[in-house]
Chains A and B, each alone.
Chain A
Amino acid sequence: MIGWALRRMTQSLLVIVLMTLVVFIGLNAIGNPMDILVGEDLNQAERLQAIAHLGLDKPLWEQYLIFLKGVAHANLGQSFVYHEDAMRLILQRLPATFELAFCALFLAVVIGVPLGMFAGAYPDHPLSRLMMAASIVGFSLPAFWVALMMIMLFSIKLGWLPASGRGETREWLGVQWSWLTLDGLQHLLLPALNLALFKISLVLRLTRAGVREVLPQEFVKFARAKGLSPMRVMCMHVMRNTMIPLVTVLAMELGSTIAYAVVTESIFSWPGAGKLILDSINTLDRPVVVAYLMVVVVIFVVLNLIVDGLYYLLDPRVRIEASR
């Protein structure tokens, strides 16, 4: 176990270092950073002074080491626009993004699992066929366009739900949250549902496939033979055995949900890290872009580690392979 964990952690660290290299090369190879960082109306002496101040006179490998040191200390410089520490800016906005992403996954599970279990238990029912067809549309729909249509229908035509911002927030554990107030929940519903649409289709299909795989197995027949009610068999025996692959897929999907939140946040003016990064790309605020990329890479690598760990704990086959 320890050997396996150590090996996986070394791999993860390698990926992070590799990504710092990619980001660093991207920062330096394309365009002269001087043109972006320093105004053009400087004379030669001032230019050289600025170059020395920014450390751009050093050889490239030394600049990279300095950049790495910054990454390790979570210090990636000041935002050009907000004049604040770039890393702190990202970390301030991250809770809002996490709130949105977790709500989306929650909706996906709450809606997708029951529907998927129904579709798996009665594959020939007309409702099941309808759900499968709807899930294909769910995969095809461009999420950003659906978001606009949701705003048009629910916010403008019907006036049921607000279309922008986080609404009223309440502090918990030192961070402001929307889901603790009724107004905040109303603001949360549309963006979370939009972000969840694709995941609902995914969860529905995964659950359906899982149920169809588990239903013909011996232990289900045995549970039925014991005289348990069909409801109890479904909820206790079938569901548990379909949950294992679902949990690991959902853990992986959390990462992509955070990434796709960029689109949802920008449409619903949700003040999370995704909206910040988009604004920063448009204003060429490079320290913030770099800080965001590094934070997301770390989140991803950690998520991958957790998923692999889950597999290791849940699936004996992985353990056997790893111990070889």
Chain B
Amino acid sequence: MNAVQKVLTTRVCLQAQSPWRRVAVEFMNSPTAVVGLLVLLAIVLVAVLAPWIVVQNPYDLMQLNVLDARLAPGSANMDSGYTYWLGTDGQGRDLVSAILYGLRISLWVGIGSALIAALIGTLLGLVSAYAGGWVDALLMRLVDLLLSFPVILMALMILAWLGKGVGNVMLTLVLLEWAYYARTARGQALTESRREYVDAARGQGIGPWRIVVGHILPNCLPPLIVIGALQIARAITLEATLSFLGLGVPVTEPSLGLLIANGFQYMLSNEYWISLFPGLALLITIVAINLVGDRLRDVLNPRLQR
């Protein structure tokens, strides 16, 4: 074996030792997914930096001028002269500012609820797999019951009791989403617990909880990450739909869905931009997340690897 070959084999071995690096390299092989990821990062960045980018705070009623309501894209502001690039809504909000602030709420609700649901769902799934018996049966029947009804119906039901509000929407989404993670985590944990490395860990005298958290959980992560990515997109769509129906966020803090709903009445008089642009922002966000999620599914799928 010559030196070059030796170096190459070592490099391959090193790469194989770090699974996350392999995932990253494979992810980058798809140009569509990379574009999706870049768009997503850009969206998250402008949403986070929104208060420093926008020309007005769309939630501060003092900064809104009713005389500027429903201006077409490209119109100029009466007082300070900045341009409404995407027009204004019925309350005289600059749509660029409103969309960026709306994105903040949409992303916060979507990502926040997905993370909390992932935490609770994974924990309950692991408990279910580990405990077995009646705990397992009870939890899984509950999951079956939750998943057998359409999300929108359950969401309407829960929000009808809870009432409007960003916190309530997040609570609703968590209540609906944890079941997906629980089912996946349980299934994955049951398969993993039969592997040799678990026996080896047991043989070393490691305690059951350390095996579950330290050994089984890391091997359950790939499918959970894929579900998480797709659930964020679903959560954002659901929040937008609920807000559109008037059951989600309050009128004073419009998310993208509520902006679209507010534009609906003006659309009939041909003022299309109030509904069109927030919808496009929503669409681009969801497509970007779905592209990333789809690629993650391909890259992390163990059946395609081995």
Contacts from A to B (Cβ < 8 Å): 15, 18, 23, 26-27, 30-31, 136-137, 139-145, 148-149, 151-152, 156, 255-256, 259-260, 262-263, 266-267, 277-278, 281-282, 289, 293, 296-297, 300, 304
Tell me whether chain A's interface is mostly helix, strand or loop, or mixed: helix
Decide yes or no whether B161 CB sits under 8 A from chain A: yes
Closest partner residue, chain A, to B244 (CB atom): A144
Q: Which of B46-54, B127-135, B199-207, B275-283 is the interface stretch?
A: B275-283
- Nearest Cβ on chain B to A85's Cβ, whole angstroms: 20
A301 to B86, CA, bound (A): 47
Task: Pick from A26, A263, A282: contact of B161, CB below 8 A.
Answer: A26
Contacts from B to A (Cβ < 8 Å): 145, 148-150, 152-153, 156-157, 159-162, 233, 237, 240-241, 244-247, 257, 260, 263-264, 267-268, 270, 272, 275-276, 279, 282-283, 286-287, 290, 294
Task: Pick from A140, A151, A263, A266: contact of B283, CB below 8 A.
Answer: A140
The residues of A that contact B159 with a CB separation of less than 8 Å are 281
The residues of B that contact A141 with a CB separation of less than 8 Å are 283
Asked whether, in the complex, the Cβ of B275 is within 8 Å of the Cβ of A148, the reply is yes
Asked whether, in the complex, the Cβ of A140 is within 8 Å of the Cβ of B233, the reply is yes
Known contacts: A26-B161, A262-B245, A263-B241. The answer to whether A139 contacts B290 by CB under 8 A is yes
The residues of B that contact A27 with a CB separation of less than 8 Å are 161
Asked whether, in the complex, the Cβ of A260 is within 8 Å of the Cβ of B283, the reply is no
Task: Pick from B152, B267, B272, B282: contact of A262, CB below 8 A.
Answer: B152
The residues of B that contact A289 with a CB separation of less than 8 Å are 160
Asked whether, in the complex, the Cβ of A156 is within 8 Å of the Cβ of B279, the reply is no
Asked whether, in the complex, the Cβ of B150 is within 8 Å of the Cβ of A255, the reply is yes
A289 to B159, CA, bound (A): 12
A148 to B279, CA, bound (A): 10
A31 to B162, CA, bound (A): 9
Which of B156, B276, B294: most chain A Cβ within 10 A? B156
Task: Pick from A31, A137, A144, A149: contact of B241, CB below 8 A.
Answer: A144
The residues of B that contact A18 with a CB separation of less than 8 Å are 145
The residues of A that contact B233 with a CB separation of less than 8 Å are 140
- Nearest Cβ on chain A to B281's Cβ, whole angstroms: 10
The residues of B that contact A156 with a CB separation of less than 8 Å are 267-268, 270
Closest partner residue, chain B, to A164 (CB atom): B268
The residues of B that contact A137 with a CB separation of less than 8 Å are 287
Asked whether, in the complex, the Cβ of A145 is within 8 Å of the Cβ of B275, the reply is yes
A300 to B149, CA, bound (A): 8
Asked whether, in the complex, the Cβ of B156 is within 8 Å of the Cβ of A145, the reply is no
Asked whether, in the complex, the Cβ of B279 is within 8 Å of the Cβ of A281, the reply is no
